[in-house]
Amino acid sequence: VVAEVLRKAGVSRDNLWAVGVGTPGIVDRDGTVQLGTAMAGWTGLDLGARLRRSFRCPVMIENDANLAAIAEHWQGAAVGADDVVFVMAGLSPGAGSLINGRLHRGFGGAAGEIGALHLLGQEVTPERLLSTTGKPLNPLDEAAVARVLKLAREGDEVAQVATDRFLTRLVQSVAALVLAIDPQLVVVGGWAAGLDGVLDPLRERLARFTLRAPEVALAALGSEVVAMGALRVALDQVEEQLFAVNPPTTEPTSPRS
């Protein structure tokens, strides 16, 4: 995919200054996925080492929800707010948090993995939360999730029950993070369609389950949010090189990221 994009843009791989990559899962600072449940075989993958074989420039690997938080703070719904929680509202939700405008990763990169709450025995497994047939949904099948939310808005009683289960789990997960961080703003994103209908119920329930309810907003950057965050991380790396007191002597002639 990278090779095709570079070909279409007419950019040589040797001219790249930085590469930013987003991935689901817990990612350490070297770019190894310590735990990744969304894709088979992802746990333990040294994604950073794999990609650094293909590029001469720095490669930064970061969790997708963390990158989404960075992107929304940069150019989205969280511009001007420095204490922010971005909720990647999938069947097993994740979150990225900014405290005083800086990403909070936690000691091992696991901060914001609120989807792990289902492992503590609360209610039903994530794949069955929005199921209307009794069969588990594929956590990566966003179209199936959007269909259930659409049916609920249209009055389908089975879909409404499923959506209520999903909202209950989401509020439990988000409320735990809100109580710990006390953010100014919670930004909700993750699906291209269907999430706008959960904002009002989420606001109402957070007001009941938290000590100080934050603002709640829909993500502004849509499906591009993770890529935008990866771009911002890459740009940060480029700017650090450009403004270094002793810049590298082997820099490319024109910066690209």
For 124-154, the pLDDT digits (tens) are 555 665 667 777 766 556 777 778 888 888 9
pLDDT of residue 46: 95
Distance CA 130, CA 167 (A): 10
Distance CA 184, CA 172 (A): 18
Distance CA 70, CA 79 (A): 10
pLDDT of residue 2: 87
Pull the structure tokens for residue 110. Answer: 């696991």
pLDDT of residue 32: 93
Distance CA 138, CA 78 (A): 30
For the whole model, what pTM was predicted? 0.83
Fold: same for 2-64+224-242 and 66-221: yes
pLDDT of residue 39: 79
pLDDT of residue 129: 59
Helices (H), the chain: 2-9, 47-52, 64-75, 126-129, 142-153, 157-181, 199-209, 225-242
Pull the structure tokens for residue 56. Answer: 């001469």
Q: Where are the domains of the chain?
A: 2-64+224-242, 66-221
pLDDT of residue 120: 54
In this structure, CATH architecture of domain 66-221: 2-Layer Sandwich (3.30)
* Widest distance between CA atoms in the chain: 65
pLDDT of residue 9: 94
In this structure, CATH architecture of domain 2-64+224-242: 2-Layer Sandwich (3.30)
Spatial strand order of the sheet with 102-104 comes to 102-104, 94-99, 84-88, 185-189, 215-218
- Point out the residues of the chain with pLDDT beneath 50: 122
Q: Residue 85 contacts by C-beta under 8 Å, 6 or more apart in sequence?
A: 69, 95, 96, 97, 112, 174, 177, 178, 181, 183, 185, 186, 187, 214
